[in-house]
Structure 1
Amino acid sequence: MLLWPLLLLLLLLLLPLALLWQQRSQHARWAWLASLQHHVAWGALGWAAAWQRRKLEQSTLHVGQSQQQALRWCLQGAQGPRISGVFGATDMSTFRNHFPLTKASQAQEEDSGGQVPPATSPQYPGEASLQATLLGLVALNKAYPEVLAPGSTACVTLTSPWPSPLPWLGHALGRVSPTGAKDPVALLLEALRSPGLRTLEAGTAVELLDVFLALEADGEELAGAIAAGNPGAPLPGRAAELRQALEQGPRGLALRLWPKLQVVVTLDAGGQAEAVAALGALWCQGLAFFSPAYAASGGVVALNLWPEQPGGLYLLPPGAPFTELLPVKEGAQEEATSTLLLAEAEEGKEYELVLTDRVSLSRCRLGDVVRVVGTYNQCPVVRFTCRLGQALSVRGEDIGEDVFSEALGRAVGQWPGAKLLDHSCVESSILDSFEGSAPHYEVFVELRGLRNLSDENRDKLDHCLQEVSACYKSLRFRGSVGPARVHLVGKGAFRALRAALATYPLSPFPPEMPRVLRHRQLAQFLQRRVVS
C-alpha cells in the first residue's frame, strides 16, 4: 500500500523533466538529472519514513493494544483445524493454552509434513522489514551525513542488508552497484572502480568477510579486468591502486581502496559477531558498522534506530509477528514455561524470543536470547547475546555460544600475532573421535598471522574454558570430559563451508552462521581442510 503513493509522488515530481531536458548539454543534464532524482527520492523516502516513525511511536506507546492487534492479525490470517475455538479471540490465556510452545526444528517438521524443508529464503516480507529499511536509511544518513550521496554507496553481495531493498529507491539514490546483477564478481568490480565510496554494503558480515578473502585471492585477476575495461572503460590507474593496496596486506585495506569510506552496512543475524570482529580488526579497521535490523528464521524481529551506538542496540517492535519473551533461567536443568509480553520485560534480564506468525501459527521458540538494556516508550531495547541451539554439551555442561566465544577470544589473544577469522565446534560423538578418551570438543579455527599451532597454544583454549565455566572445570577435573582439541584449517576453508551450507537443506544459512555443527558431513568437510 505504501509503494503506490511513493511512486505517484515520484511521477508527479519528474513531469517537468521533459521540458527542461532539451535545455542542457548531454553531460550536464545527466548530472542534473541524477541530482534531481536523488533529491526527489530522498523527499519521498523522508515522507514515508516520517509516516512509519509516527506509526512506530504510537504502537510502542500503547504496546498492549498493539500486541493484541498483532495477535488478532495472526489468528485471522491462519487456516486449519488448529485455530478452531480461538478464531477471533485474543485472550492470552486461551491462546497460550491452545498453542503450546514449540522449538524451531519442531515447527519446521510440522509445516513440512515430515519432508525435508527447503533452504530458507533471504527475503524478509512484512511491515517490520519496511520499517527497518526506511527508518534505518534516515537514521544512517543523520548519523553519517553524505554517506548516501549519489555514487557513494555500493553493495558487494547479491543479497542486500536492507530487509526491503526497494530496487527503484536504490537506483534513485545513486548506488553504483549494477542493477539486476547476478554475478558477485561484477558487483565487486563496480565497487572497486569507484574510489569515492562512503558506504559499503553486504548482505551479512560473513558474506562481506568472504568478499575480502576473495579479493585477496583473486586480486590480480580483478586488477587486470579493471585495467582492460571489463566492464566499462579501461582504468589502468585504478588497477595500479588496487595492486598497491593489496601489497600492503589486509589491515586497513578498505580505507586504502576507498579513502572516503565511513560505514559498513550489513544485516545482523546469528553467528555474525566473529566476522564483524575480524573485519573490524583487519580489512575494515577504522570503520563504523551498522545493521538496520536483526533477522531470524527468515524474518525481521528487531529494529536498529541508533547507528551511532556500537555493539548493536535493537528495539523489539510490538507489531506482527506476535512476539513473546520466555525468561532464561540459569542452569540447563530448569526451563521457564510461562512467557511474558513486551511491556512485562525487566531491564537486566535475559529472554528467549518466541514468535507467532500468520503462516504457521505456532508459538515458536527461536533460540535467540536477548538481554534487556533499556526501554523505548513501553517496548524493550535489547542486545542479542547468543543462540541456545549453538550450545556445546557432551556431559550436560551446556557451554553457551557466548561463553565459548569468550573463552576462544581469550585463548586467541594469547597466541602471538594471531587474528581469529572464523571457527566452528563439533562434539566428539559427531566425528566418532573418542579414540579411547573421554568425550570432548573438536574446534576448527581459521586464523591470520599464525601458520601453526603449538601444543602449548592448543592447551590454552581448554584452560580458558575452565576459567569461564565452573561446570566444565569440574568435569575436566573428574576426567568426565577430555581436553578440547583445536585444529587449524587452511585459508578459505570457512568460505568453502558457507558455500556448502547455502545448498544444505537443513541449514539456516543465510543469514545465520552455525558455530556448532550437528551433521557429520559438514564436520568432515572442515576436517579434510586441517593444516595443523
Structure 2
Amino acid sequence: MSIMSTNVPGLDKGKGLYFFFIKAERKTPSGLIARPTLTSYYNSEQFKNRPYNPYNVYTSPNETILCPDTFQSMYSQMLCGLIMRHEVLRIGAVFASGLLRAIRFLQLNWRDLARDISTGTLNPRITDSAIKERLMSGILKPEPELADFITSQCSGENWEGIITRIWPNTIYLDTVLTGSMAQYIPTLDYYSGGLPKVSGMYCSSEGFFGINLRPICDPSKVSYTIMPNMAYFEFVPHDVAAPLSSRHAPQPPQLVDLAEVEVGKKYELVVTTYAGLCRYQVGDILQVTGFHNSAPQFRFVRRKDVLLSIDADKTNESELQKAIENASLLLREFKTSVVEYTSYADTKTIPGHYVIYWELLVKNDYSAKLPSHDMLNRCCLIMEESLNSVYRQGRVADNSIGPLEIRVVKNGTFEELMDYAISTGSSMSQYKVPRCVKSVPIIELLDSKLVSVHFSPAAPHFDSECRP
C-alpha cells in the first residue's frame, strides 16, 4: 500500500471490497494440522488483531472472512460491500477468477441480497452465529432506497460496467492477472468499464518474492522486483538444457545467483526460505526485464509443466493461451469472448487429439449475431495454426495427432467445476481453474454440460522443409 498510495492518492479515505476466504482445517493421520497458507494467515493473530491502518480498511468484517462455509462467507461479504458501496475505492480478490466468481455470485443472489437490505433482516441461509451477531449489530438495517437501486441495476440483462455502476468510486481492481490469469482481462474490462487492474505482488505458498513498483501499468507489462530479504534466490537457466551422457546420469543444472541473472533470459525460480525449504524449485518460469537499482525485475512467463502431449508434441500453458487468444479474435464481430477454458489430451481416439473446453460470454447486444458452427470450426483451425511446429508436424506430416476439438459448454459450467474442486478439498481462496484436466469425474462433468462440438475443418500449415 505504500507503493499504491504514491500512485493513487486518497486511498486512506475509503475502504477495499476484497473477497477473502478460509478453508476448514484438517488433521493428518499423525495429528498435524493441514490447511492452505492463506487460511493460516487469516486465522493468525497478526491478521485478526492487526492494528488499524487507514490504507487497509476492508468492508468485510473478520467474522465474514473467517467462516469456512463458502456460501455464507461470500454472501455476507457481498452484502457488506453493497451496504458500503459509496465507501469502496478498490475491489479485489487473490486471483482474477475469484473476482469474477464474486460477480457471478451477485448475478445469482441479488434478489436475496436486496431483500435483506430492504427489510434489515438476514437471509435464513446465514446460520453462522458470529456473522449474524456482527451484521445485526449496526451494519445491516432497513435501507429500501438502496435495495431499489440494486434491483434496478441487477434486474436487467446488461451487466456491462456493473462494477462501476454499483461501486461508483472504485479506482482500480486489485488481483493477480499475470500468467494464466491474463485470460480474464477482457471479461473484467467488460464488467468494470475498463478500470485499471493492479497485480501488486508475486507470491506463492513458499513465500513472498516480489513487488510491482509500477502498479498502474498495463497488465501485459507487469514486472516484479525481487525482494532479496524474503528468501535466498537462485535460478536455473531455462534456455539452456543440461548436457546428457549415454554413460552417466544427467548432471544437475548450474544455478545462477540473484545478482548474476541477465536481462532477456528466462530462468526457473529456486528458493531457500526461512521456513526450511532448501533449494526448492517453485516451478515458475520467469524472464528478466531489467533492474531496480541492483535488484532484478522479472516477468512471469508460465508454469514449467507441460499441459498437453499426444506424441512428440509438448504444448505448455503459454502456448495454449496464445492459441486461444488468436482464435478468440474471430469472435469479436459477434461480441463474444472466451471467459473460461480448460483442456485434455484425448488418447481414446486413434490418433489422439487435443480437446479444448470453452465457456463463452455473449455481450448484451440484441443486434449481435451468435458465432456460427462453421465459425467455431474455424476457431479450431486458428488454434492449430498457432501451436508449435512439432504439433503441426504431427498433424500434417506424421498423422500422429488428430484434428483439434472445441467443446462449448453451458454458462456456469466452470463455476460448477470450482464447486466440485472445493467439495473434494481445494481452497476457494487459492483455487485456480486447471488448464489441463485428467480426472475422469471432471471430464464427465464438463461433457455433461456440452452445448456444441467443433473440429478443425482442415490441417494446419506445415512446411516439410522446415522440420525442427
| TM-score (norm: length of structure 2) | 0.75
Is 1:363 aligned to residue 226 of structure 2? no
Shift of 1:138: 1.2
Q: In the alignment, is the contact (CA less than 8 A) between 2:179 and 2:301 conserved in 1?
A: no
Query: Structure 1 residues 175 and 530 mapped into 2: Cα distance closer, same or farther (>3 Å)?
Result: same
Shift of 1:285: 2.5
Aligned to 2:303: 387
CA distance in structure 1 between the partners assigned to 2:118 and 2:344 by the alignment: 45
3-state SS of paired residue (1:471) = helix
3-state SS of paired residue (1:286) = coil
3-state SS of paired residue (1:203) = strand
For each residue in 1:183-202, what CA deviation from the matched residue of structure 2 results, as whole angstroms up to 9, or x when unmatched? Answer: 21000011011221111122
Q: In the alignment, is the contact (CA less than 8 A) between 2:313 and 2:391 conserved in 1?
A: yes
3-state SS of paired residue (1:445) = strand
Is 1:154 aligned to residue 154 of structure 2? no
Aligned to 2:170: 261
Shift of 1:455: 4.2
Is 1:446 aligned to residue 446 of structure 2? no
Aligned to 1:191: 81
CA distance in structure 2 between the partners assigned to 1:356 and 1:513 by the alignment: 28
Q: In the alignment, is the contact (CA less than 8 A) between 1:155 and 1:201 conserved in 2?
A: yes
Q: Which has the higher contact order (CA 8 A, sep 6+)?
A: 1
Aligned to 1:376: 292
Aligned to 1:237: 145
CA distance in structure 2 between the partners assigned to 1:326 and 1:447 by the alignment: 38
Shift of 1:422: 0.8
Equivalent residue letter for 2:418: R
CA distance in structure 2 between the partners assigned to 1:357 and 1:367 by the alignment: 15
Matches within 5 A, 1:274-313: 274-280=183-189, 282-311=190-219, 312-313=222-223
3-state SS of paired residue (1:352) = strand
Query: Structure 1 residues 271 and 298 mapped into 2: Cα distance closer, same or farther (>3 Å)?
Result: farther
Q: In the alignment, is the contact (CA less than 8 A) between 1:424 and 1:444 conserved in 2?
A: yes
Shift of 1:330: 7.3
Is 1:495 aligned to residue 415 of structure 2? yes
Shift of 1:276: 3.6
2:8 pairs with one of 144, 158, 176: 144
3-state SS of paired residue (1:200) = strand
CA distance in structure 2 between the partners assigned to 1:426 and 1:332 by the alignment: 29
Equivalent residue letter for 1:302: G
Aligned to 1:166: 47
Aligned to 1:101: none
Shift of 1:386: 1.0
Q: In the alignment, is the contact (CA less than 8 A) between 1:332 and 1:398 conserved in 2?
A: no
Shift of 1:419: 1.4
Equivalent residue letter for 1:515: R
Is 1:328 aligned to residue 238 of structure 2? yes
Query: Structure 1 residues 146 and 441 mapped into 2: Cα distance closer, same or farther (>3 Å)?
Result: same
The alignment yields a C-alpha RMSD, in angstroms, of 3.0
Q: In the alignment, is the contact (CA less than 8 A) between 2:19 and 2:74 conserved in 1?
A: yes
Equivalent residue letter for 2:336: A
CA distance in structure 2 between the partners assigned to 1:372 and 1:300 by the alignment: 18
Further displaced range: 499-508 or 406-415: 499-508
Q: How many residues align?
A: 389
Shift of 1:401: 1.0
Query: Structure 1 residues 359 and 438 mapped into 2: Cα distance closer, same or farther (>3 Å)?
Result: same
More helix by share: 1
1:249 pairs with one of 142, 155, 158: 158
Aligned to 2:342: 424
For each residue in 1:196-229, what CA deviation from the matched residue of structure 2 results, as whole angstroms up to 9, or x when unmatched? Answer: 1111122321111111011112222222222122
3-state SS of paired residue (2:233) = strand
Aligned to 1:224: 115
For each residue in 1:312-340, what CA deviation from the matched residue of structure 2 results, as whole angstroms up to 9, or x when unmatched? Answer: 22112223432211111279999982221
CA distance in structure 2 between the partners assigned to 1:506 and 1:199 by the alignment: 27
CA distance in structure 1 between the partners assigned to 2:423 and 2:206 by the alignment: 16
* Runs of at least 5 residues in structure 2 that lack an aligned partner in the other structure: 23-37, 68-72, 123-139, 245-249, 364-369, 453-468
Shift of 1:359: 4.7
3-state SS of paired residue (2:81) = helix
Aligned to 2:270: 354
Query: Structure 1 residues 360 and 526 mapped into 2: Cα distance closer, same or farther (>3 Å)?
Result: farther
Matches within 5 A, 1:70-85: none
3-state SS of paired residue (1:386) = strand
Equivalent residue letter for 1:149: K
Shift of 1:465: 2.8
Shift of 1:262: 0.7
For each residue in 1:497-518, what CA deviation from the matched residue of structure 2 results, as whole angstroms up to 9, or x when unmatched? Answer: 1222235458998254421123
CA distance in structure 1 between the partners assigned to 2:8 and 2:396 by the alignment: 52
* Runs of at least 5 residues in structure 1 that lack an aligned partner in the other structure: 1-136
Shift of 1:241: 1.6
CA distance in structure 2 between the partners assigned to 1:175 and 1:482 by the alignment: 51
3-state SS of paired residue (1:448) = strand
For each residue in 1:398-424, what CA deviation from the matched residue of structure 2 results, as whole angstroms up to 9, or x when unmatched? Answer: 122111111101112202221121111
CA distance in structure 1 between the partners assigned to 2:238 and 2:346 by the alignment: 27
CA distance in structure 1 between the partners assigned to 2:356 and 2:373 by the alignment: 15
More strand by share: 2
Query: Structure 1 residues 278 and 476 mapped into 2: Cα distance closer, same or farther (>3 Å)?
Result: same
- Identical-pair percentage: 22
| TM-score (norm: length of structure 1) | 0.67
Q: In the alignment, is the contact (CA less than 8 A) between 2:342 and 2:433 conserved in 1?
A: no
Query: Structure 1 residues 331 and 386 mapped into 2: Cα distance closer, same or farther (>3 Å)?
Result: same
Shift of 1:440: 1.0
CA distance in structure 2 between the partners assigned to 1:506 and 1:245 by the alignment: 33
Q: In the alignment, is the contact (CA less than 8 A) between 2:289 and 2:297 conserved in 1?
A: yes
Query: Structure 1 residues 438 and 507 mapped into 2: Cα distance closer, same or farther (>3 Å)?
Result: farther
Shift of 1:468: 4.2
3-state SS of paired residue (2:105) = helix
Shift of 1:351: 1.1
3-state SS of paired residue (1:483) = coil
Q: In the alignment, is the contact (CA less than 8 A) between 1:297 and 1:366 conserved in 2?
A: no
1:524 pairs with one of 440, 444, 462: 444
